[in-house]
Amino acid sequence: MASVEHSIEWKAIDVSGRLGSFYDQSSDAFVGYCSLQNLENSKDSINSACQILRCTHINNAIDVLKAIKFHDTLLQSILFGLVKPSGISSVINYNGPIDEYTLFLYYTYEHRQEKLGAITDRKAHRTISPPSDLNNATHMVTEITWGFEILCIIQVLRTESVDQIENLLYKIWNQPFNLDKRSELINNEKHEINKLSNVAIFGSETCTKNSNTLSLLTVLEQLKKWQDNKSFHVPILYRMHSLEDLFKNQSLSKPYFLSNDDSSKIEQIGIMMIQLDNRLKKLQQLFKNRFNDCDNLIYDLWPHDIPDRLGILLSQYDEYRTKLGNILVDVRRGKAHPLPPIPQDKTPLTSSPQAETKPSRVTEFNVLLMGETGVGKSSFINAFVNYLVFDTLEQAEKNESIVLIPVSFLVTTGDQFNEFMVKFGDVDSNENHEHQGQSVTQQCKSYVFDLNETTRLRLIDTPGMGDTRGLVQDEKNLDHILTYVNNLSHLNAICLLFKPNNSQLNIFFRTCVKRVLTYLTPIFYKNVIFCFTNARSTFFAPGNTGLLLRQMMEKEYQNEIPFQNKNTFCFDSESFRYLAARKCHVNFDEFVIQESISSWTTSVTESIRLLRCIRKYEPYYLNDWQSIGKAVLEITMLSRPLMETLRSILYNWKLRETGIVNHRMILNSNFLGSTLCSNCVEKKLKFENRSNFPI
């Protein structure tokens, strides 16, 4: 969450607010009222302003509202359906074109300001006491600006000059508005204005009750009337103070503002939802018109369940929108959001062997490994499994080593620095050793270990961050990682791998870690583990990297992610590289041998400690919790099947209209029983060397 603002200015969508009204910023709604009549003061403060905007920096209705000072938080509430658009905010439903021939004419008239003097001086705690039941209120209305607003979207004909129309509007706006009493030039202006027939008008509902019959010329002629007649004036701007600050009471609900990054993601979801809303509305209208116009013969050829299927689609979509709105409210209140369990039909439709199979008693532990390119994630997996199987380096040399991921590296030995290329393990298309600086691992891959009859460990290897192919490749890798994780049923831990002697943390890696943690919720933060590879050089300690990580945790996560000995582990993969080299008949001197033996023993101890740590963590069930990052991913995934469904409906429609009644497109959704994406690779192993692990 970003820092709290004690005072906010909110465009008035709900005009029922009055001085002393309590406001819940998380749901953007008035939730109560405190009578403060003896503290109110009012004064006329006539002011008007006009803006004429072009679409140079405006691509959609959201940009229009931003240009006229709508707060991002209020825009999010409109997009997610928490606030019903009214007045000029109704422009969110505008479906017309916005291009180089579009002009936006915005006019605001302020007539009166009401203010609570004692409140705005932050003396509320001396004057009144807050009610006992505030219904999650975070703010009180302390100032109201009365007047009206008008927003006109003008689509200029392509045969006309946009510059000339813009100059004409500026010229008219800088003169009195009583057009009937102006000079003869006005007739020419009226003629030009009347030529602007493609105009959408939004504004204070007292002025635009019959917006469908209003023209731009009518608006210009009515402005003087609207200014003089106070019955047309409504609240157009609220200034509100936080209750915590006003009453000097830390126990009151605190207002929250999301970070710019989170706000941007929420806005992306909202824009996508508005686009889907508009397409569904068009589809509904299309169905309504076609069913009314088509003759009985064509109607009889249509599948009679189409209206029901469309109704189910719309119902499910509305339910999902409501759920997203509730999630946004809880996120603003600083809460992780548990989703309600999906109801299951306990009575199987058909009797099948699968339905009668008893649930497995095997407990699975899913662990995601992440790190920079070259940190040694794949080597860590190879080393880790060998550390668990063989207690000593001598045992590993005498028995067949386990190579889950092929390794390839150059080693030098002897006084003459003789070079040997070590290649160990079968060729794997998922591992690319040919291009220096690129991530060796090309896609996510799971390695599953049956530790005993009841415990299974899944280590998920991922492409490295900081790829030399650039930020675009890193973004692709990260999207792939999140999509892969989204197919898991649960996650027990994330292991962040580092080298212990870094002078700085890779900037993009920090961004990637932040994005992954945004996909999860703070509930999971205690399940983050720090692992250091090649730690023999720092005496099996975090080294310089540890200080950088501690600073990062304090600054960006306020120590919500613990960085302590209990969740920090130091390994040395060099002892496994020594083992791989020995298997390829490379000889070493006595010093290297003793160092490798000692390193292996220490790494075995750390591996057992890591395994026990993972086992203690409570699993994080991905379907039970929702977050901003997860919502972004799921909405993106939702948009395609929804569009495919709409396309299928329209395609079948056209087939029926052309008389081709024997063909029909049907979308079949096939459930995949696996909790992992079927396109991703999984490798399962069962160790014969060891039946039980010290967990």
Domain boundaries, the chain: 7-257, 261-335+627-657, 363-624
CA atoms of 306 and 303, how far apart (whole Å): 6
DSSP SS3 for 283 = helix
The whole-number pLDDT of residue 290 equals 58
Helix (H, G, I), strand (E, B) or coil at 331: helix
Q: Please name the residue ranges forming H helices in 50-184.
A: 61-67, 72-79, 117-120, 124-127, 162-173
Q: How many CB atoms lie within 10 A of CB 168?
A: 16
- Residues 652 and 665: their CA atoms lie apart, in Å, by 6
- Which residue in this structure is represented by tokens 């000097």? 248
Q: Are the beta carbons of 559 and 569 closer than 8 angstroms?
A: no
Task: Report the distance separating Cα 237 and Cα 69, nearest Å.
Answer: 11
List Cβ<8 Å contacts ≥24 apart for 55-62.
55/98, 55/99, 55/100, 55/102, 55/104, 58/98, 58/102, 58/104, 59/98, 60/98, 60/271, 61/91, 61/92, 61/93, 61/94, 61/98, 61/274, 62/92, 62/267, 62/270, 62/271
Q: What is the pLDDT of residue 30?
A: 92
**Whose CA is closest to 328, among 29, 3, 642?**
29
**Residue 384, pLDDT score:** 92
Rounded CA-CA distance 239/38 in Å is: 19
Residue 584 three-state SS? coil
What was the pLDDT predicted at 439? 45
**Structural tokens at position 490:** 């649960």
**Residue 520 confidence (pLDDT):** 87
Q: Which residues contact 683 (CB under 8 A, 6 or more apart)?
A: 404, 445, 446, 447, 448
Pairing of strands 21-24, 199-203: unpaired
pLDDT under 50: residue ranges of the chain: 1-4, 176-185, 295-302, 337-359, 430-439, 671-681, 688-689, 691
Looking at 542-665, list the stretches that DSSP marks H as alpha helix, in order from N- to C-terminal side: 543-557, 574-583, 590-616, 628-657
Assess contact for 73 and 28: CB atoms under 8 A. yes
Q: Which DSSP helix (H) or strand (E) runs through 10?
A: strand 7-11
Superfamily of domain 363-624: P-loop containing nucleotide triphosphate hydrolases (3.40.50.300)
CB 111 within 8 A of CB 147: yes
Question: Which token pair is 136?
Answer: 């999650």
User: What confidence score (pLDDT) does residue 595 get?
Assistant: 92
Say what the pLDDT of residue 685 is. Answer: 60
Sequence-distant (6+) residues with CB within 8 A of 216 are 105, 152, 154, 193, 196, 199, 201
- The predicted pLDDT at position 348 comes to 34
- Please choose, from the candidates 20, 33, 14, the residue with its C-alpha nearest in 3D space to the C-alpha of residue 246: 20
Instruction: Give just the sign of the alpha carbon dihedral 251, 252, 255, 256.
Output: positive
Helix/strand/coil percentages in the chain, nearest 5: 45, 20, 35
| Amino acid (1-letter code) at residue 425 | G
